[in-house]
Amino acid sequence: MLKVIENNKILFLLLLFVLTWGIMQLNRLVFKQIRAKKKDGLKLKYFERLSSALILLAAVIAAFAIFDRLGTVWKTLLGGTAIISAVLAFTAQDIIKDILAGFMISMYKPFDIGDRIQLENGTVGIVIDITMRHVVIKFMDTTVCAIPNSKLNAMSILNFSYHSQIRSRIFSFSIAYDSDVRKAINVIREAIISSSYSIPGVKRDYGMDYAPVYFMEFQSSSLLLQTTVFYPPEVQTEVLISDINLRVDLALNENGIEIPYNFVNVVNRELGVKQDGGELVRSGRPYVTADIVVTADGKGMKKAIETTEKFGTACGLTKKEVMRLRLLSEESLTMMRDILQNSAASYHIARTKDTYYLHLKSGINTDDAQRRQLLSVSTSGINAAPMGLMDRISEMVRTSQSGKLAAQQAFLINLGITAEADNDGTLASWSLQQYRQSLATQKNSSNEAAEAWDELERSIVSSIADDISVRITRSTVTMIIKKTF
């Protein structure tokens, strides 16, 4: 007898399984028919899932009833209310929140199945499904994301398809100031109409029409035109955007309408390095040191030479190149001390890229008596011709102050020295390159030029420096030594 009863229970359980399956299929078919008529996808999807869950719950309860276990389960639930409450509080609260949020979404419908929405983080996708716990969104790259209903319900969502059977998107186009705006408007409109993805979306008395193109704004370097493009829900937005942009770009180019763009001027700027209390100062380009005062008694000379050495090191020169730069500064400063008499000179070093400039400028404080003395020494014939390149430059400075040139000095220097002052106040100017070229052309025909050439070849400064330029006025002498590494 008991065996018969047990067999009947198993039969009832099988029947319950078949009945549950049949009701689930019927439930799905009914909702499918309703969706086909009402097209209320989101709400029907949710309630379909909810009804399916309720059917399964009823089937489980019926299964317990068949085996006379319903009363036992019910007593257990009632007897363990505190435990069940704790479990629900700590483990099931997210599930309940998602179910309730899903119910709210399905009722108030901020979006529907097939709508294109943008989330708070800027992600854009199409809603393809809603479950008891999640809303399923498909992105442009076909990636599918399931977002909990409670999180989505709390977001601010941008819906591109709200309560509309068609979608739309605003397009902006910039044209140059000298463009024919009316022509551009017509060209853009015709390009949009020619797209197979765009459709009329504006209601008119005569029917539906495409949106007009508006002249919206005078921008800083262009004119802004805007329009709205409508397209069917099944068209992927990114496909539409690409197609419209390509068509408008081609149409504007074919009609000679310029699309402006920004011009960028790139300025390479090297930044100086400050060292030892700021002796090297930043001056953009070129690098340049602060001016250092060097007096006739040698004060400031050591500091100037050390600054030159540090400057070369800071600019990345090798030890050998730094030593050459230091030697040039020593020679030029020594020569300037001889010229200074009772004056002081300012010294600094600068560079542009790989070229370095040692710059000295001094005032010449000689009265008439000193000038007569200098003249008598430099032109008397008792004084032998100066030996060494720096000696010749010193002689040129002293001679220029007298207003006259010794014949020998004029011949040997003979490179742009002016006997009379120029309009800019220059008494004499001299260049190592010009001097070298002049001697090279005369050394084979003149003994003096040949001796000066040999002297130039032995000069340390001339062998290291690329050029030396000297400019002399009545009150100042300026010397710049140039060296490229």
Residue 95 domain flag? no
CATH number assigned to the domain comprising residue 217: 3.30.70.100
Residue with tokens 């060292």: 275
pLDDT for 25-47, tens place per residue? 887 777 777 766 665 666 667 77
Question: 244 and 291: one domain?
Answer: no
> Which position has the higher pLDDT, 390 or 80?
390
> Which position has the higher pLDDT, 420 or 127?
127
How far apart are the C-alpha atoms of 103 and 97, rounded to whole Å? 10
Percent of the chain scoring above 90 in pLDDT: 13
How far apart are the C-alpha atoms of 378 and 395, rounded to whole Å? 7
**Residue of 168, 187, 185, 179 lying closest to 219 (CA atoms):** 179
Question: 324 and 443: one domain?
Answer: yes
| 278: pLDDT strictly greater than 80 | no
CATH number assigned to the domain comprising residue 151: 2.30.30.60
Q: Residue 191's pLDDT band (boundaries 50, 70, 90)? A: very high
| 281: pLDDT strictly greater than 60 | no
Q: What is the mean pLDDT of residues 133-148?
A: 83
Among 195-204, 207-216, 409-418, the range scoring the smallest mean pLDDT is 409-418
Put simply, whether the predicted model's pTM sits higher than 0.85 gets the answer no
pLDDT for 221-254, tens place per residue? 899 999 999 998 878 888 899 999 999 999 999 9
Residue 366 domain flag? yes
Residue 96 domain flag? no
> Which position has the higher pLDDT, 334 or 40?
334
Among 17-31, 281-295, 409-423, 431-445, the range scoring the smallest mean pLDDT is 409-423
Instruction: Provide the terminal-to-terminal Cα distance of the chain, rounded to the nearest Å.
Output: 114
- Give the residue numbers spanning the domain of 230: 174-254
| 343: pLDDT strictly greater than 60 | yes
> Between β-strands 467-472 and 476-484, what pairing exists: parallel, antiparallel or unpaired?
antiparallel
Question: 315 and 455: one domain?
Answer: yes
pLDDT of residue 216: 92
Question: 202 and 305: one domain?
Answer: no
pLDDT of residue 95: 76
| 401: pLDDT strictly greater than 70 | no
Residue 265 domain flag? no
Q: What is the mean pLDDT of residues 148-169?
A: 81
How far apart are the C-alpha atoms of 283 and 287, rounded to whole Å? 6
pLDDT of residue 188: 95
| 434: pLDDT strictly greater than 60 | yes
Q: Residue 433's pLDDT band (boundaries 50, 70, 90)? A: confident
Question: 417 and 479: one domain?
Answer: yes
Q: Residue 390's pLDDT band (boundaries 50, 70, 90)? A: low
Question: 29 and 106: one domain?
Answer: no
* 438 alpha carbon, distance to own chain's centre: 53
Residue 182 domain flag? yes
Q: What is the mean pLDDT of residues 80-92?
A: 58
> Which position has the higher pLDDT, 449 or 230?
230
Question: 199 and 147: one domain?
Answer: no
Q: Report the number of distinct structural domains present in the chain.
A: 4
pLDDT of residue 28: 78
How far apart are the C-alpha atoms of 480 and 355, rounded to whole Å? 12
Question: 248 and 329: one domain?
Answer: no
Residue 166 domain flag? no
CATH number assigned to the domain comprising residue 321: 3.30.565.10
Question: 72 and 137: one domain?
Answer: no
Label each residue of the chain as H, E or C. Answer: CHHHHHHHHHHHHHHHHHHHHHHHHHHHHHHHHHHHHHCCHHHHHHHHHHHHHHHHHHHHHHHHHHCCCHHHHHHHHHHCHHHHHHHHHHCCHHHHHHHHHHHHHHHHCCCCCCCEEECCCCCEEEEEEECCCEEEEEECCCCEEEEEHHHHHCCCCEECCCCCCCEEEEEEEEECCCCCHHHHHHHHHHHHHCCCCCECCEEECCEEECCCCEEEEECCCCEEEEEEEEECCCCCHHHHHHHHHHHHHHHHHHCCCCCCCCCCCCCCCCCCCCCCCCCEECCCCCEEECCEEEECCCCCHHHHHHHHHHHHHHCCCCHHHHHHHHHHHHHHHHHHHHHHCCCEEEEEEEEECCEEEEEEEEECCCCHHHHHHHHHHHHCCCCCCCCCHHHHHHHHHHHHHHCCCCHHHHHHHCCCECCCCCCCCCCEEEEHHHHHHHHHHHCCCCHHHHHHHHHHHHCHHHHHCCEEEEEECCCEEEEEEEEEC
Most confident stretch, 141-145, 173-177, 363-367? 173-177
How far apart are the C-alpha atoms of 13 and 309, rounded to whole Å? 100
Residue with tokens 């829900």: 233
Question: 363 and 460: one domain?
Answer: yes
pLDDT for 101-139, tens place per residue? 887 887 777 888 877 888 888 787 888 888 878 888 887
Question: 314 and 407: one domain?
Answer: yes
Residue 266 domain flag? no
Q: Residue 404's pLDDT band (boundaries 50, 70, 90)? A: low
Question: 105 and 75: one domain?
Answer: no
Residue with tokens 């400039």: 357
Residue 181 domain flag? yes
Residue type, 381: G
